[in-house]
């Protein structure tokens, strides 16, 4: 069984940065696509970004393009989400997930096989 653990969330002022990590245990991540999602209070969970197994292909939702960067380190069995120029509307619980079809960069939640428990990101002055 795969376990995913997100870390790096917290409270940050608008314009600040955070880097989220998604560490896996129980299985190597190198064959999986990694995706990041978020859920704000009272809203549905939404896709943010995904990266294929090699790291050669990434996909972002429009609202984070140019501010967020998804990456991975297969040697460390970890995925990352670098978030810059954070805005109050980025406040949410952030989740990582993995898709066993590691060649695609899908935004569809139902195609992801395993999920982490989430980490809270709050952007506020």
CA distances from 70 to 42, 43, 74 (A): 25, 23, 13
What is the Cα–Cα distance from 90 to 14, expressed in whole angstroms?
9
Q: Mean pLDDT of all residues in the chain?
A: 96
List pLDDT tens digits, range 41-82.
999 999 999 999 999 999 999 999 999 999 999 999 999 999
Q: What is the pLDDT of residue 1?
A: 83
Residue 66: exposure state from Cβ atoms within 10 A (0-12, 13-18, ≥19): exposed
For 36, the 3-state DSSP assignment is strand
List pLDDT tens digits, range 18-50.
999 999 998 899 999 999 999 999 999 999 999
Longest dimension (CA), the chain: 40
Tallying the residues shown for the chain, one arrives at 125
List pLDDT tens digits, range 86-97.
999 999 999 999
């Amino acid at each position: 069984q795969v376990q995913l653990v997100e870390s790096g969330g917290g409270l940050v002022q608008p314009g600040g940065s955070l880097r989220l990590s998604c560490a896996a245990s129980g299985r190597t991540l190198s064959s999986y696509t990694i995706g990041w999602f978020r859920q704000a209070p009272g809203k549905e969970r939404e896709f943010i970004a995904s990266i294929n197994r090699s790291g050669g292909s990434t996909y972002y939702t429009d609202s984070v393009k140019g501010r967020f960067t998804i990456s991975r380190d297969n040697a460390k069995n970890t995925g990352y989400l670098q978030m810059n120029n954070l805005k109050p509307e980025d406040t949410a619980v952030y989740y990582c997930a993995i898709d066993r079809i590691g060649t695609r960069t899908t935004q569809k939640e139902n195609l992801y096989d395993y999920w982490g428990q989430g980490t809270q990101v709050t952007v506020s002055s």
